[in-house]
A = this chain, B = another copy of it.
Amino acid sequence: MGADTAATQLAALTADRVDHRFKGLPPEADGLTVGELAAQRRNLFTDGFTTPVLALSAERLQHNLALMETYATRHGLAFAPHGKTSMAPQLFWQQIEHGAWGITLAVPHQVRVARRFGIDRIFLANELVDHAALRWIAAELARDEDFRFICYVDSVRGVELMDAALAGTTRPVDVVVELAAGEGARTGVRTEAECAAVADAVAATTTLRLAGVAGYEGEVPQADPERVHAWLRRLTALAADFDKAGRFAGLEEIVVSAGGSAWFDAVADVFAEIPALSRPVLKLLRSGAYVSHDDGHYRKLTPFTRIPEEGALHPAFRLWAQVVSRPSADQAFANAGKRDAAYDLDLPEAQVVRRDGVEHPADGVEVTGLSDQHAWLRTSPGAELRVGDWIGMGLSHPCTSFDKWELIPVVEQDGTVVDYVRTFF
């Protein structure tokens, strides 16, 4: 039933009207459907779009989707890309069409969005003890036998709260014990002995079923290849120990999951070493940032710098803003700020300047700060920048770029806008 729901709901996005909710779009397009606007194949630079406007490269998006499909397939990994990155059901479905097993999410609201758009397999990479959210998950499981849902547990108390909230449900909720990435790391059980205690608590319920183990190597303290590999081996050893102890006896498959966007090469390495267990193993990779990649944090962190022979992700976002003020020889201001650009890990990177249809590199132009609605630009002597110019900026951190835009133009290399991606944050 997921595909039918998806078709209906994705069609509703296409039939939705362009209006005041969506920034950057041409004001005179108000009242057109999103589909009608896309069919006009407008040019981002000449057909009435207003600044600031975020553009998602059509070609780079497709490249990234295909590259991670190839990567997961080559390494025998199932793939549940983290949907929190984009919160865009259209992209969730493109990821699934590119071979993804399902979608990873972080909080129940995100699960609601995915369910609305017919996503059948959801991995919630987080603890879940919210009573109302658990009641809703239970109702979804009861309503739809195709719905597969897995979430973390990392404490006996958490198990007890889940069990209480789920009392009387018909299908048990699948859980994986989360192994913490180390002392002082984020969520997750800190020792194997505690993992066993949590698994025992799960086994004592009828509302939960232990489906495997998981964790997030991105939080390994002072992460380096050696430490990350070592932690991943702890995780796979935990799976093997649990299996030996008969904890997975009733399952069709054992879930072993890890993998953000910085160490999926290590995940591939170590998951390849998993010995034969009593049941088939679903080796679930969860990287999410790849879909747009970036021009900052993930450009530095991506594993493809260590494995160039396997390809390279391409940064797919460019934020266009307009220079509105040039008050001195060394300062300029553009009309995009914290409302428009990611700013949590790095500032935007000035890349190109566009004037009268001609682009030149933004040499000598640097973003030095963001106000709520302004970018502060420092310019070197000789930098070519005038009031009215459009400035194209690269961003750092896909998650905090997507979350500032509700409808994002998908733009081909020549500026033609071929689609619009809707987000739900």
> Contacting A126 at CB < 8 Å: which of B115, B373, B424?
B373
Are B26 and A155 in contact, with the CB atoms below 8 A? no
Q: Is A333 an interface residue (CB 8 A)?
A: yes
> Contacting A324 at CB < 8 Å: which of B109, B112, B129, B371?
B129
Stretch in A184-192, A243-251, A263-271, A299-307 with 4+ CB within 8 Å of B: A184-192
Contact with B along A164-198 (1 / 0, CB 8 A): 00000000000000001001111111100000000
Q: Is A311 an interface residue (CB 8 A)?
A: no
Are A326 and B400 in contact, with the CB atoms below 8 A? no
> Contacting A387 at CB < 8 Å: which of B50, B107, B157, B186?
B157
A85-132 interface (Cβ within 8 A of B)? 106-109, 112-113, 115-116, 126-130, 132
With A27-B133, A50-B109, A130-B335 given, can you name 4 additional A-B contacts, CB distance below 8 Å?
A: A19-B116, A28-B136, A126-B335, A155-B327
Q: Is the interface of A mostly helix, strand, loop or mixed?
A: loop
Are B126 and A324 in contact, with the CB atoms below 8 A? yes
Are A186 and B374 in contact, with the CB atoms below 8 A? yes
**Which residues of chain B come closer than 8 Å to A52, judged between CB atoms?**
107
Stretch in A230-238, A279-287, A337-345 with 4+ CB within 8 Å of B: A337-345
Q: How far is the CB of A127 from chain B (nearest CB, A)?
A: 4
Are B387 and A155 in contact, with the CB atoms below 8 A? yes
Q: How far is the CB of A378 from chain B (nearest CB, A)?
A: 10
In whole angstroms, what is the CA distance A386 to B424 when docked? 31
Contact with B along A123-152 (1 / 0, CB 8 A): 000111110110110000000000000000
Pairs across A and B, CB under 8 Å, 5 listed: A23-B109, A127-B387, A157-B326, A157-B386, A157-B387
**Which of chain B's residues has its CB closest to A219's CB?**
B371
With contacts A388-B161, A403-B339 known, is A127 near B187, CB below 8 A? no
Are B186 and A106 in contact, with the CB atoms below 8 A? no
Q: Is A376 an interface residue (CB 8 A)?
A: yes
Are B376 and A424 in contact, with the CB atoms below 8 A? no
Q: Is A163 an interface residue (CB 8 A)?
A: no
With contacts A106-B373, A328-B190, A338-B400 known, is A48 near B84, CB below 8 A? no
In whole angstroms, what is the CA distance A155 to B388 when docked? 11
> Contacting A108 at CB < 8 Å: which of B50, B157, B386?
B50
In whole angstroms, what is the CA distance A299 to B363 when docked? 41
